[in-house]
Structure 1
Amino acid sequence: MALINLWMAQGFIPSSDVDPNKERLGNEYFMDLLWRSFFQDVQEDELGNIVNFKMHDLMHDLAQLVAGTECMIVDLSSGKLDERVRHVSHSSNFDLSWTRETSYSGADKLRSFLLLNQSPFHSMPNKLFYDTAIGRFRGLRSLSMSNSGVTMLPISISNLVHLRYLDISWNPDIKLLPNTITDLLNLQTLILTSCYNLENLPTQMEKSINLRHLDIDGCANLKQVPCGLGKLQSLQSLGKGGITISRQSCWLTELKDLNNLDGELRIVDLGHDDDATLEWKDVNLKDKQNLQSLIVEWGPESHENEGVLNDVMMLEDIKALWSLKQLMIEWYGGARFRKWMVDDLMSYLPNLVKVRLDSCFRCQHLPPLHQLAYLKDLYLGDLSNIECIIECEGVAEVRPSGCDFFPVLAQLWIVNMPNLKKWWRKEEASKELLPSIPHLSYLVILDCPNLLSMPLLPSLEKLDVYGVNEKLLSPQSSTAESSSSLCRLKKLRIGKVLKMESLSGKWLQNLTSLEFMWISDCPKLMSLSQGLSHLSSLEILGISNCKDIDFKEVDSGSSMQSKGFLNLRSMTIKEAAKPDCLPQRLEQFPNLEKLEIESCSGLVSLPESIGNLQSLQRIRIFDCRKLISLPTPVSSLTGLQELELSGCPIVMAKMPRRECIRLA
């Protein structure tokens, strides 16, 4: 967190014999202030790290009162500065006039100089940078020139011998940094975020022995990170993106002594031969116990090679990473994970928040991920030999006192797992006890044709199913209890359910909170159940590439049933082949505002009942070549703002050109 780094630069965080990690101590200070409401409106990233926050106006006023003249926000109109000022923030575009017109007798005592709210189109002369920051403010501990238009740093930057915090981020014209920057022996934080054109870091970076944070996120043209950084044993992070290392780089061996790393470490293209195992040992991963995120990719060839036992051995060192919040494993070649992952995962990696297991083609069993108390985000993909998600015999083994598992999981992706059949090894035949994922809000199931059941999902708000078995959405797999657990579902996407002929009314009738439904690529889908009329909150309905779809069942419903369509605002029908691919009783949708029809090859005419849609504002019809005419009641739609036709040659030939595009 930048605030903590600024505190450190000013010496506000003392050394501690109990915990020498100043960042951790600074975080305790911050959390204490947050608890006391000094800070508020905290925003966290996906791993729970604080990235944004605010200070209450009253607290800000109090802080200014306590600071007195020591801290000051200035602009171009500010005159003489009090010699007691130590920390200056400049709130407007900085230019030469400020230095000419401002006198400050205590310039050498200034400790912070921060540019705020600089215009992205502002360009600051490099001479000004020298005159102010270096020529006058030699006692600086913190200097921020973020987004200031600086194009280069002068060699004399080394004169700021006390500098500990330097931020030159978002200056895309900087291509090189002077080598003299490594003479700043007290430098702790160097922020280069989004210096897009920066090509190289200074040579001899190993001289910056106190450097703790080097942020190179968004430095897209950075050709290479110089070897020698491995000697910076205080180095903790290289930005949010962390470090990406392959076997071909010098970095793999230089990681050995960087045991204070606490950000993200990505090791790619490992391979699984004997040499890879030896190089992995050189990384000394087990001593990097502050890491928050570890991503390990063996490479796409690993599942074909006979040396996959090496992959299994490499996982052993991960168990020492107690602080790990994110673990991603890709192209792992083993059939099983290490014994510690299977038997005692919660003890070794209790803080995991995000897990991704991808392209582990040989893997036959998953670790007990359902036990992780803080797991919020789980991705399981291309695990072609996995048959069940939980290796237990039944619900009682998942949680003896009940049937919840994945206690805080919020998002789950299950992708391309063709042999997945069950959630746990022995599902109860009676289904009297169904497992529950109590806090899951988003579920994606893609290309899992053999999965036939769903757990209880009482908090689910968004569900995407594509390439699944039709039984997953049928009454046989959804008991009354399981289907009613979807009462909070708001968005539903169904696609590529190849054998589904109709939607289950029993399954649909409990989706009373559903606002959005899109069905696509279901070639055998012929009808929508009358259960659709129970979707009392539905606002958007889309059907695409379901050739044989019709609305006969919906049209046959009673007026009482049709109350479910009162909130429908938008309907889209694409790539349907039947003449009656639209509902004939459009009066069921009295609040419909948008109707879009595209590539419906059998459509000949629109229903006469369209005249009842007085809320209709937009009609868009594309590529319906058999459409003969528009019904007369269209002209009585007083709310219609736009009528757009394209690729409908018969009906367009009968209309004035201006009416084929838009009605105002």
Structure 2
Amino acid sequence: MQRKRSQGEPESFFPSLKSLCLENCPNMKSWWRKRSIDDDNEDDTTVIGTSTMAFPCLSSLEIANCPLTSMPLYPSLDDDLRLVKTCSRPLKQTMKMNITGTTPSSSTSSLPLSKLKAFHVHKIEGLDTHMLDEYLKHFTGLKKLTIGDCKEVDLEGMQWEPLKNLSHLEIYNIPKLVSLPIGLQHLVQLKTLKIRNCNGLRSLLPVFQHLTFLEVLVVMNCEELELSAAGFQIFQDHTRLRSLALENIPECRHLPEWIQHLTNLQILSLVDWPNLTSLPDEMRCLTSWKKGVRRTLVPIGIRLLTFLQ
């Protein structure tokens, strides 16, 4: 793909393009046949920093299994950014841009990606705690965030206050996660929390007591997690929770008493509880079960159906 040079004028790539997906292109390292910058210099912004090489109208972008280190930048994204098994360099350079005048709708200076609604990051080369933390503080309009398989990221060391509008958070394959980051208490609008494959996670306390707006909670494959601790009477404040899914939590031998406080629970899914033998009598308090959405409870070796009838 060739780009046109015009001195003093912004260079636009596909000026009407709204959505771009690059997936499973394992040999694509550059957007151009000839490299426009030194690809060996991770922080090179001598050319890109002038913020003229960019998609002017791009709203959503997905790059998956594609090791791009050089491409037109994307400061105007206002919908969805998905980065999976790719290089962090274009993101880093995009965040350094000044997008005044480079997008048709920009009349005043604004931060790149400040209007982004959804951000999905998975196994990104070069992404560490400091970098992710620095970027997220500018994503003030973010509604949905997914962080997965980032070995160098320590979520407990990040600042979460700027993400006050976040309503959906997914975390998976984060080996350093031992407890929920204390900063999550600032996510007062959080409605959905999904945690998967975090085998180091041992407790949801003390942060969970602050997430009282939660409507959906999913916890899967967290082998060290204990849910029966005494501190979980805090569930009495989670009256909005309507969907609860717990899968492969081997440390739990029985459902704790706090489940009786989930009076608006409509969907309950229990999968792979090899030591579960019965359900607590307190589950009779779950008055919000609806016939159309009742779920089969299927621990290993147990199939419990009658208690919902």
TM-score norm. by structure 2 comes to 0.70
User: Which of 118, 123, 133 pairs up with 1:491?
Assistant: 118
Q: Are residue 530 (structure 1) and residue 139 (structure 2) matched?
A: no
CA contact (8 A) 1:617 1:640 kept: yes
Secondary structure at the residue paired with 1:615?
Answer: coil
Q: Deviations over 1:571-626 (max 9, x none)?
A: 11111101336463113322100101111112122662433322111211011112
CA contact (8 A) 2:49 2:97 kept: no
Distance 1:457 1:432, change over 3 A: closer
Q: Are residue 367 (structure 1) and residue 2 (structure 2) matched?
A: yes
User: Which of 613, 618, 643 pairs up with 2:268?
Assistant: 643
**Correspondence 1:71-86 to 2 at 5 A:** none
The aligned counterpart of 2:249 is 624
CA contact (8 A) 1:543 1:572 kept: yes
Q: Are residue 429 (structure 1) and residue 37 (structure 2) matched?
A: no
Amino acid at match of 2:116: L
How much has 1:472 moved relative to structure 2?
Answer: 5.1
**Identity rate, percent:** 20
Q: Are residue 567 (structure 1) and residue 189 (structure 2) matched?
A: yes
CA contact (8 A) 2:95 2:113 kept: no
The 2-side partners of 1:501 and 1:610 are apart by 33
More helix by share: 1
The aligned counterpart of 1:591 is 213
- Give the superposed CA RMSD: 3.5
Q: Deviations over 1:19-71 (max 9, x none)?
A: xxxxxxxxxxxxxxxxxxxxxxxxxxxxxxxxxxxxxxxxxxxxxxxxxxxxx
CA contact (8 A) 2:114 2:138 kept: yes
Bigger relative contact order, structure 1 or 2 (CA pairs below 8 A, ≥6 apart): 2
How much has 1:633 moved relative to structure 2?
Answer: 3.4
Q: Deviations over 1:140-162 (max 9, x none)?
A: xxxxxxxxxxxxxxxxxxxxxxx
CA contact (8 A) 1:604 1:628 kept: no
Amino acid at match of 1:407: P
Secondary structure at the residue paired with 2:201?
Answer: coil
CA contact (8 A) 1:575 1:600 kept: yes
The 2-side partners of 1:527 and 1:581 are apart by 14
User: Which of 109, 128, 134 pairs up with 1:506?
Assistant: 134
CA contact (8 A) 1:452 1:469 kept: no
Q: Are residue 603 (structure 1) and residue 205 (structure 2) matched?
A: no
User: Which of 201, 209, 212 pairs up with 1:579?
Assistant: 201
**Correspondence 1:143-154 to 2 at 5 A:** none
The 2-side partners of 1:457 and 1:567 are apart by 26
CA contact (8 A) 2:82 2:119 kept: yes
Q: Are residue 612 (structure 1) and residue 221 (structure 2) matched?
A: no
Secondary structure at the residue paired with 2:258?
Answer: helix
CA contact (8 A) 1:512 1:536 kept: yes
Q: Deviations over 1:117-150 (max 9, x none)?
A: xxxxxxxxxxxxxxxxxxxxxxxxxxxxxxxxxx
Distance 1:407 1:567, change over 3 A: same
The 1-side partners of 2:177 and 2:69 are apart by 25
**Correspondence 1:187-198 to 2 at 5 A:** none
Structure 1's unaligned 5+ residue stretches are 1-365, 372-396
Secondary structure at the residue paired with 2:160?
Answer: helix
How much has 1:439 moved relative to structure 2?
Answer: 0.8
Secondary structure at the residue paired with 1:484?
Answer: coil
The aligned counterpart of 1:144 is none
Amino acid at match of 2:59: S
How much has 1:634 moved relative to structure 2?
Answer: 3.1
The aligned counterpart of 1:33 is none
How much has 1:544 moved relative to structure 2?
Answer: 2.6
The 2-side partners of 1:471 and 1:628 are apart by 46
Q: Say which one has the larger Rg.
A: 1
CA contact (8 A) 2:192 2:217 kept: yes
TM-score norm. by structure 1 comes to 0.35
The 1-side partners of 2:142 and 2:176 are apart by 24
**Correspondence 1:283-432 to 2 at 5 A:** 366-368=1-3, 397=5, 400-402=8-10, 404-415=12-23, 416-418=25-27, 420=29, 425-426=36-37, 428-429=45-46, 432=49
How much has 1:447 moved relative to structure 2?
Answer: 2.5
How much has 1:466 moved relative to structure 2?
Answer: 0.7
Misfit runs of 4+, over 6 Å: none
CA contact (8 A) 1:641 1:663 kept: no
The aligned counterpart of 1:69 is none
How much has 1:412 moved relative to structure 2?
Answer: 1.9
The 1-side partners of 2:62 and 2:177 are apart by 25
CA contact (8 A) 2:166 2:189 kept: yes
Distance 1:657 1:481, change over 3 A: farther
Amino acid at match of 1:497: I
The aligned counterpart of 2:286 is none
Amino acid at match of 1:367: Q
Q: Number of aligned residue pairs: give it.
A: 264
CA contact (8 A) 1:605 1:629 kept: no
